[in-house]
A and B are shown apart, each in its own frame.
Chain A
Amino acid sequence: MSMPSLKLRAVLNHRLDMSPFTPEFVADKSADEIARTPIWLGNRQVDTGELFEIRDNASESLLIQSESDKLDMIGAAMKHGSILVEGNAGAYLGRSMTGGEIRINGNAGLAAGCAMRAGSLVIEGDAGDFLGGALTGERQGMRGGRISVQGNCGDRVGDLMRRGTILIGGNAGDFCASRMVAGTIIVLGQCGRHTASGMRRGSLITAGKPTSLPATFNRNGIHSLSFLTLLRQQIASQTGFSGLSEIANEVERWVGDLSCDGRGEILILQS
């Protein structure tokens, strides 16, 4: 099945809501129909054709080409199929997605993969704050699927995360894994301050010792954990994460956050 490509024509002055354009929405539509689809630009609606050049794309992926960081909610609530973003994305990339794959070769803005339930989100550049976090007012963040970021991330990665896996090839900002409920976050670089603050359950696996840990974490000792073999096999095939296959199962384990449930863990890989 051939999917269209949407190439942004001009520089945007306002934020653009891209949520209508999921693979299932465009699958059975002609270029004209897509061009007539109204989308929100700031506080007004415009036809998609005013902003995008729409072409047939000899690919099974919906292609979005943009250097703007104002294209919000790309792939929001998508169920299946594939979206390829050439360039950058705005906020809420893959918000509440329940399947399929989004791949972006640039940077993503705030709250990428927030409230995600399943599927795969691959960001080849950097990601903003609240990666895999929760929708405002909700008590749980990402609830399944996998997010892979090859670059660095902002603050509050996996805030309120409930399930799923987040891989970060670079560094994570402050409050990484804050208020985490469950799931797995892997940071191959360094985590910032207040790492895992308010963490209830789940695992934060990091190659470098975080800049600071809350006083409510206790050192648990050096352990060799066999589940890491399975985890490593699962993610070592990901681009940018092949180095994981050479890391041993030995980790320094910290448990907490004892100010709340206290059954979370920070595993610092021993090279």
Chain B
Amino acid sequence: MIINGTQIEETFAEAFGMSATRIIITAIDAKWARIAGETMTGFATSVIGCGVEAGIETELHPTQTPDGRHGVSVLLFAMSGKALAKQLETRVGQCVLTCPTTAVFSGMQGEKQIPLGKNLRYFGDGYQISKQIGEKRYWRVPVMDGEFLCEESVARTSAVGGGNFLVLANHQQQALTACEKAIAEMGKLPNVIMPFPGGIVRSGSKVGSKYKSLMASTNDAYCPTLRGLVNSNLDNDIGGVMEIVINGLTEADVRQATRIGITAVCEVGAAGGIKRISAGNYGGKLGQFHFHLREVMA
């Protein structure tokens, strides 16, 4: 399959089942809502080292938030509900509770609940106030700028993490430009995040390492500087490879994001130096979700 001169490789991305949640952070204005969202989703690129993968899903207009202020919705993905709950509590406690003017709300409904304000309320040292409004319980925690308002719990759901595709270009800059275009389009989609810096990964990994202490190491088959040294997957004209990793609430969300992303990259096409689209997998034995690139783009 060739789209606009770019070859779509006959391969598939292998993704995993994860546990996910969505919270809504509001603040006095869009700037502070975004600061809170960015802070709590910092150091959240990969579960391998960060415990959680998180990102801002979208910015919210005051008409879209529970308390009528500017906000952001944040998606968090972890390998288990327990890990998700721990990371959520830590990150909201350290990054949102501390951020001026913020409030936090549940962003999804569901039967499985994890604590949000349920434990954070103890920061109030006994002066916290519970408020039941409708079917939901909120906590009002006294802080130095007034009150931190926090919903008691948030739903979690099963989700899909680790969808991906690789962009192989003549030069590093060409790969980056194409990936930036893809992220711009994918960022408009609901229910997905691309957790790596700017949505783009330059250090794709393989499972295992020559060093026993490492679970993962550089994806040598796609490193241009290792061509001729290892069993490389790169043609001689490939000078830069970048990866976009996609986490979504459902398989369909990841599939759609993959399609939108690859389409955007292919619009740059061979004329822009994009030679090939590939994907990362582990032979299909580790992840239960397989996104065959040619099927996705068909």
Contact = CB atoms under 8 A, between A and B. Distances in A.
Q: Do A and B come from one complex?
A: yes
Q: Is the interface of B mostly helix, strand, loop or mixed?
A: strand
Contacts, number: 43
B154 interface: no
A263 B146 contact: no
A201 B68 CA distance: 27
Contacts of B133: 227, 230-231, 234
B67 interface: yes
Contacts of A231: 131, 133
Nearest to A201: B129
B134 A234 contact: yes
A227 B68 contact: no
Interface string B119-151: 000000001011111100010100000110100
B89 to A, nearest CB: 21
B66 interface: yes
B103 interface: yes
Contacts of B138: 227, 230
Interface string A152-167: 0000000000011100
B134 A225 contact: no
Contacts of B149: 226-227
B66 A230 contact: yes
Interface of B: 66-69, 103, 127, 129-134, 138, 140, 146-147, 149
Interface of A: 144, 163-165, 182-184, 201, 203, 223-227, 229-231, 233-234, 263, 265
24 contacts: A144-B132, A163-B132, A165-B132, A183-B132, A203-B131, A223-B146, A223-B147, A225-B140, A225-B146, A226-B67, A226-B147, A226-B149, A227-B140, A227-B147, A227-B149, A229-B66, A229-B68, A230-B67, A230-B138, A231-B131, A231-B133, A234-B133, A234-B134, A263-B127
